[in-house]
Amino acid sequence: MELSLDERGRIDFVLTLRRRWADTVYPALRAQYDADPAGTEPVREAVHRQPAYPWFAFLERNAQKMLWRDVSDVVAAHPRDAGTEASGPATLELDPNLELPDWYTDWDIHVQPGGVWRNDASADVYELGAKLVMLGVNDDYTFHRAFTETAVPPGSYRRIVDLGCGFGKSTWPMKRAFPDAEVIGIDLAEPCLRMARDRANAAGLAIRFIQADCQATGLEAGSVDFLMSSMLIHEMPRPALIATLREAARILAPGGKLRFLDFTTTGDAFRDLAMAEHGERNNEPFMPGLLAADVPALCEAAGLAGARWVAFDERGGGRLPERSWPKRAEWHFPWAVLEAEKPQ
Ligand SMILES: C[S@@+](CC[C@H](N)C(=O)[O-])C[C@H]1O[C@@H](n2cnc3c(N)ncnc32)[C@H](O)[C@@H]1O
């Protein structure tokens, strides 16, 4: 996409604003909190009384709003020729009777106007915006490749399913890594699925994209030997998460493996509060609930075994062996992989 000087300037500005929020304002807030002579408990009150807090909170939400405005304008000015790659090895199965859940349509997730589903341009806006949300460090999707390379147990899989595949960036590396497996991407959002299919066709990847709710995929019981998601479960309310874990236990074959890349608490009270409030300020209303939930216990209750969270470092080694994250001063997501399996 060839951007005008004005467009380039707007995008560069919002990206720089977000970087300074992450590498300057967040550490300043942390330093003030750590040095507060009145103490660091209760954590929410202690964080909120620091002089850097209003800057931190305002910038977090409003830089995000600015980002979507800029990205939407750029996408409107450079419409993609959608559908030119509709034919090829990838397929798309849409469900004209699918009803999107209220909790999905009631919120503009990530503050993206209309979310990722409302109109044809939603996927294009999401694609460009997601690069900026990742502060420019995931432009070539190294992060998603790191998941495939380090969090997926080696083996030969017959059927791999990616729940909440979006426009496919978590699904494409799976097909590349396991070319002989049937790879399926499932999502609610038609515009994202169309883009996922088009991009897979352009790359020559034979992936099946299906429009369905991950709480009821329609796949045969016991037919999946690797089930994954990336950035899905923090977007779901607790009943939908429980239903999704039950569906996972239903469709996994005995011995089949589940790996969900998402977020959990780190044990660092400041960081965990910042993450829960990130969810609130970024229109991810179910994030605090996910962070508070005992997700491994929900997995066990759903019929999965050996459930646990391990840390994931998106800029370094990917999946880490334990629940310990590298120390970094700047804001960064507490990525984690939920691991479980279907008992034999
Ligand atoms: C943050 S995106 C992640 C996309 C992709 N997995 C990635 O890693 O970039 C979350 C996706 O989950 C989808 N989603 C949310 N709830 C869902 C549900 N109940 N069933 C299927 N997809 C869902 C959304 O439409 C969105 O595309």
Rounded-to-integer distance, Cα 53 and Cα 125, Å? 30
Does the CB atom of residue 133 touch ligand 1 within 6 A? no
Find the 304 Cα to ligand 1 centroid distance in Å.
22
Check whether 309 has a pLDDT greater than 90: yes
What single letter denotes the amino acid at residue 248? A
Q: Is 318 in the pocket of ligand 1 (CB under 6 A)?
A: no
pLDDT at 135 over 80: no
| CA 232 – ligand 1 centroid, Å | 5
Q: Choose among 124, 338, 334: nearest CA to 227.
A: 338
Find all residues with CB under 8 Å of 91, minimum gap 6, and list them: 197, 207, 208, 209
The response to whether residue 261 sits with its C-beta less than 6 Å from ligand 1 reads no
Q: Stretch 152-168: mean pLDDT, rounded?
A: 97
User: Mind listing the pLDDT tens digit for each residue in 239-295?
Assistant: 999 999 999 999 999 999 999 999 999 999 999 999 999 999 999 999 999 999 999
Reported as a single tens digit per residue, the pLDDT across 186-198 is 999 999 999 999 9
What is residue 316's predicted lDDT score, i.e. its pLDDT? 75
Whether 320 shows a pLDDT value over 80: the answer reads yes
Q: Summarize the confidence of residues 115-136 as an average pLDDT.
A: 84
For residue 224, pLDDT over 90 is answered with yes
Structural domains in the chain, sorted by start: 87-341 (3.40.50.150)
| The pLDDT value given to residue 137 | 59
For ligand 1, is residue 187 a contact (CB within 6 Å)? yes
Q: Is the pLDDT assigned to residue 90 strictly greater than 60?
A: yes
At 139 the pLDDT is: 63
Does 115 contact ligand 1 (Cβ within 6 A)?
A: no
Q: Would you state the pLDDT for residue 314?
A: 86
Q: Is the pLDDT of residue 140 over 80?
A: no
**Residue 134 pLDDT > 70:** no
Q: Does the C-beta of 214 come closer than 6 Å to ligand 1?
A: yes
Q: Is the CB of 210 under 6 A from ligand 1?
A: no
298 φ/ψ sector (left φ>0, alpha ψ -120 to 50, else beta): alpha
Nearest Cα neighbor of 165 from 146, 151, 185 is 185
Q: Which of 111-120, 126-135, 247-256, 265-274 has the lowest mean pLDDT?
A: 126-135
Task: Determine what percent of the chain falls in helix, strand and coil, rounding each to the nearest 5.
Answer: 45, 15, 40
Quote the mean pLDDT of the chain. Answer: 94
The CB of 190 under 6 Å from ligand 1? The reply is no
CA 46 to ligand 1 centroid distance, Å: 34
Q: How far apart are CA 275 and CA 288, in angstroms?
A: 8
Residue 207 has pLDDT above 70, yes or no: yes
Does the pLDDT of residue 103 top 60, yes or no?
A: yes
Question: How close is the Cα of 210 to the center of ligand 1, in Å?
Answer: 12
| Axis crossing angle, helix 26-34 with helix 269-281, rounded to the nearest 10 | 140
